[in-house]
Structure 1
Amino acid sequence: MNILVLGGTRYFGVHMVEALIQRGHHITIATRGLKKDNFGNSVHRMVIERSSPQSIAQAFSGRTFDVVCDSLAYCSNDVKYVLDSVHCKRYVMTSSASVYQLHVNTTESDFNPLEKSLKWCNRADYPYDEIKRLAESALFQAYPLQSSVAVRFPFVIGRDDYTKRLYFYVEHVVKGIPMFIDDIDVQMGYVSSEEAGRFLAFLAEQEYTGSINGSNGGTISLSEIIKYVEERTGKHAILSKDGEVAPYNGGVGYSLNTELASKLGFRFSPIKSFIFDLLNTFIEAAKV
């Protein structure tokens, strides 16, 4: 298939492009051209400004793709700029679990974008969770005839995590830096960057339309993570209200139900099957 990828040069987007290439698709990646990639001659490249409707229209007006994989759609206007200019048979949008009022076993039906009042907005107009809700609302309300899927991920983790949110905890234990954690025992879900990318590539080939969860199985607490780092290093976490504020603060206990993904044929691995190896990598990095 002829697939346009908006983004795709970092984090789970890289894994998505790699998976699409392995599946034999013809890939065009469109970015601001600021970051080099390692795809070589396997992809075509275009330079665009994602938040500019003029830039997108100039680049894609009149062009047709089988699939558009959009990892850069944050707000309703982002969706509009693309779907008003790019003709595609299928649109795969990366959304977020932030659209939910999260709880244990959160299912896709816990947020219905068709029931959300649609507002056209830019990225800075509302908090992140609200603009992601509005992005989904725009997709399914304004473009009801478009074959589309919105993929809801929790926190993404991996060796290539540029946010370094999980690494924060490891580094602070290893280097003895005080940190403030508001709820160390809360159980949360995560998805690996590799599996997130492969799931997006998988969905590009499916016919399912609507929203869908993507998450590794099970949950893990920061207490378990920190205890593992302490045992591996012989260090002890310094927890203090005066310490650096930890990035996952404010989170609630939750998990995402991925039965729908399983029914389509994609099974996520359990979180505890890989996270400790990832922590080992972060431990070595923090020692430098």
Structure 2
Amino acid sequence: MKNVLVLGGTRFFGKRLVELLLQDGDSRVTILTRGVTEDDFGDRVARLAVDRTDEAALERAVGDIDWDIVYDNICFSPDEAAAAVRIFSRRAKRYILTSSLSVYNPQPAILTEADFDPEHYPLKLGGKADFSYQEGKRLAETVLLQTADFPVAAVRFPIVLGTDDYTRRLHFHIEHVQAGQPIGIPNPQAEISFIRSDEAADFLHWLGTSTLTGPVNACSDGTLTIGGVISIVEAATGKPAVIRSETADKDQSPFGIEESWYMDTAKARSAGFSFLSLSEWFPELVTSLNRSLS
């Protein structure tokens, strides 16, 4: 049996990952959260309730157990990453960090893992409040990949979507179009990557069994322009969108990027993972959400 620890596994793709691990039948799964969000795993998992930003409490919670895989979905700063390096030294056989497309600056060309190289990025410590989200994720990768004595993979996900998306980013667009409210989009022609929540969980699960290390891009095959997203929403709702280049903050699109921001997944595909087609699942998701929100 494999000992698997999931830091953050009670909602969205983290919850889906835990379900996949439980279906394996050969994993003892422990989830570590603050204990705020309830789960329905019952006695199928062990639970550790701790604030992962408290290094001493985190070390006491994980104890001296050897972990075959540690999934870290809730690391947002170099200090948190450095604590993980110390605590899991010689205890983790494989460490998988959930990182983000946000480590990259938007650009017209497709982004490869080499466009941000954490193994040569200046190492700097600090807490979550000391950095932007982008810089926090960059430095978390940097600390783990430069200093850990265990194998590390850093999964760079784009915006994750699904009916279970608690951030309701796609919901925002559907609700605004349904209500005839303006949506702020600075560049409708900007291309963007997405991944579905179950696909993100599938990828993390697969990565746990692979030997890939370092940064790994993971997104559905294909891209959409922001204008294309809106067109799909218009088709599902049967209503025209009211698009503005500038709006009040509350009406600004969560997808409202000024430049294209999309990833190449050749590294993961070459290792054997097959991604879903964005053009197939995205309209289906919009249609499903539109029905539930109508």
TM-score (norm 1): 0.95
2:272 to 232, 256, 265: 265
Separation in 1, partners of 2:267, 2:121: 22
Separation in 1, partners of 2:199, 2:235: 28
Alignment correspondent of 2:11: 10
1:54 to 51, 56, 79: 56
Alignment correspondent of 2:231: 227
Paired letter, 2:120: E
Separation in 1, partners of 2:47, 2:204: 20
Which stretch has the larger CA shift, 233-242 or 126-135?
A: 233-242
Paired letter, 1:95: S
Alignment correspondent of 1:194: 198
CA contact (8 A) 2:226 2:256 kept: no
Alignment of 1:216-255 (within 5 A): 216-240=220-244, 241-243=246-248, 244-255=251-262
Paired letter, 1:58: R
CA contact (8 A) 2:67 2:92 kept: yes
CA contact (8 A) 1:175 1:286 kept: no
CA contact (8 A) 1:68 1:91 kept: yes
The alpha-carbon deviation at position 275 of structure 1 amounts to: 0.6
The alpha-carbon deviation at position 281 of structure 1 amounts to: 1.7
Paired letter, 1:55: A
Separation in 1, partners of 2:7, 2:153: 15
2:179 to 175, 181, 204: 175
The alpha-carbon deviation at position 148 of structure 1 amounts to: 0.9
Alignment correspondent of 1:141: 146
- The number of residues matched between the two structures is 286
2:42 matches 1:37: no
The alpha-carbon deviation at position 251 of structure 1 amounts to: 4.4
Closer, same or farther in 2 for the Cα pair 1:132/1:251, shift >3 Å?
A: farther
Q: Secondary structure at the match of 1:202?
A: helix
The alpha-carbon deviation at position 250 of structure 1 amounts to: 3.0
2:156 matches 1:155: no
Alignment correspondent of 2:22: 21
Alignment correspondent of 2:117: 112
TM-score (norm 2): 0.93
Separation in 1, partners of 2:162, 2:202: 13
Separation in 1, partners of 2:188, 2:227: 5
The alpha-carbon deviation at position 173 of structure 1 amounts to: 0.4
Deviation digits for residues 20-46 of structure 1 (CA, Å, limit 9, x no counterpart): 112221100011111111222221111
Paired letter, 1:247: P
Deviation digits for residues 96-117 of structure 1 (CA, Å, limit 9, x no counterpart): 1111123432111111111111
2:282 matches 1:275: yes
Alignment correspondent of 2:68: 66
Q: Secondary structure at the match of 2:174?
A: helix
Which ranges in structure 2 are unaligned for 5 or more consecutive residues? none
Deviation digits for residues 159-191 of structure 1 (CA, Å, limit 9, x no counterpart): 111111121111100111122211122111111
2:102 to 85, 91, 98: 98
Separation in 1, partners of 2:169, 2:20: 25
Alignment correspondent of 2:263: 256
The alpha-carbon deviation at position 65 of structure 1 amounts to: 0.9
Superposed CA RMSD: 1.4
CA contact (8 A) 1:75 1:134 kept: yes
CA contact (8 A) 1:217 1:271 kept: yes
The alpha-carbon deviation at position 49 of structure 1 amounts to: 0.6
CA contact (8 A) 2:118 2:145 kept: yes
CA contact (8 A) 2:155 2:216 kept: yes
Separation in 1, partners of 2:247, 2:32: 43
Separation in 1, partners of 2:102, 2:222: 18
Paired letter, 2:146: Q
Which ranges in structure 1 are unaligned for 5 or more consecutive residues? none
Deviation digits for residues 209-260 of structure 1 (CA, Å, limit 9, x no counterpart): 1110100011012222222222333211122334511112234213211111
CA contact (8 A) 1:92 1:204 kept: yes
Separation in 1, partners of 2:61, 2:262: 40
1:122 to 127, 140, 143: 127
Paired letter, 1:132: K
